[in-house]
Amino acid sequence: MTNPVREGFGGALNAALDEVLRSPTPNISVADAGTVAAFISAWSRTLSEHARHLRTTSQALTAPVVVAYTSNMNAFSKLHGWEKHLMLGAVANNKFAGMLIAATGEIAGCVHPTAVVDTNTCEQLITASGLEATPTIALVSASKLWVWPDGINGAAAPLERQLNDASKVFNEASIATELDQFYEIHARQTQKWWKDAALRTTVENPEGEVQNDLHLFLLARNSESAWIRAEEVVGNGRADLTITPRPPFASGQSAVLELKTLRDVRTPRKPGSTPIKMSPKKNWAWACSGVQQAAGYREKHGMNLAMLCLYDFCAANSPAVSLAVDPYAKKYGVSHYRYWITLTNAEHRDERYPLNP
């Protein structure tokens, strides 16, 4: 998800760190400064706020503005000859139309010397500069933003975001809708989370992969309206996300999302090793522990909602785990959702459109 330039961050990282420290409840932690999550959070918010400025002043966006991630803005500028602008992005009502930007953090970027007049030209310039596989954000009008989490040539589907002046409301139903959309767009038929299809083994840290992709998805769609943070991974693969409405652009309830993955087998670390089977009872116990973690985090941090998300990689697609979780979830006020991850398109079709119901 990054381009080949990898020498130090330079001033771009310092600016990103400064932005994190200035914000009382940032979308990202200091440790995340300069990362893809920080980039998507920052620039999708900056461009959506720029679009809001255009709408409130009755202006149109005269040309697209596109921002692509680079791990090292300074080195990229030297390599490609793009001009550095160290204060770019600091003010949302600056002129952005026609800019193709390579950036690392929220503030500062380098700009292509040729103004972008349409998306076809922009695509050619992105590819020529080796940015086609890096996260990219495009404001194409005063009311529409596109985000490519893996780049314009990446595997992940682009995310369309309609921009308007309505205040967003976060509650259990609206968050559940976001989770359903993530499942349908990115998770249900993904190949990214599988390591060996023949053995039905996932990547070695599936919860970390789910957390990362869901985090980027939520940031791309909600960076202006909510603070969305990924908690540190601790213990045996725990991965949490938190959502807090961001006034004045949103209101409603805060939430903690506890993510758990369920598998038929553990993924072997050594090539050629036989996968160790996971019994249904172990999966049930793992899922139930998520109820405890979600409820505990909600109480400790004074959040409104606790939501347990179960990403089920098991072949059986059985509701048994949901039945095991349900009594504990009800007792402690935790909402729970199960999302079955299909191995093949045939599995997807057979479950979604069964010929023998």
The answer on 186 and 144 residing in a single domain is no
Do 316 and 242 sit in the same domain of this protein? yes
- Judgement on whether residues 104 and 173 belong to the same structural domain of the protein: no
Q: Considering the domain boundaries, does residue 5 fall inside one?
A: no
Assess if residue 113 is contained within a domain. Answer: yes
Q: Residues 295-314: pLDDT tens digits?
A: 999 999 999 999 999 999 99
> pLDDT tens digit string along 324-350?
999 999 999 999 999 999 999 999 999
* Model confidence pLDDT, tens digit, residues 80-104: 999 999 999 998 888 999 999 999 9
Confidence of residue 9 (pLDDT cuts 50, 70, 90): very low
Higher pLDDT, 90 or 155: 90
Global confidence as pTM: 0.84
146 and 179 in one domain?
no
CATH of the domain at 235: 3.40.91
Average pLDDT value for the chain = 88
Judgement on whether residues 196 and 61 belong to the same structural domain of the protein: no
Q: Which domain holds residue 293?
A: 169-352
132 and 176 together in one domain? no
Question: Any idea of the CA torsion for 291, 296, 298, 300, to the nearest 10 degrees?
Answer: -170
Judged by average pLDDT, the poorest of 125-134, 137-146, 194-203, 309-318 is 194-203
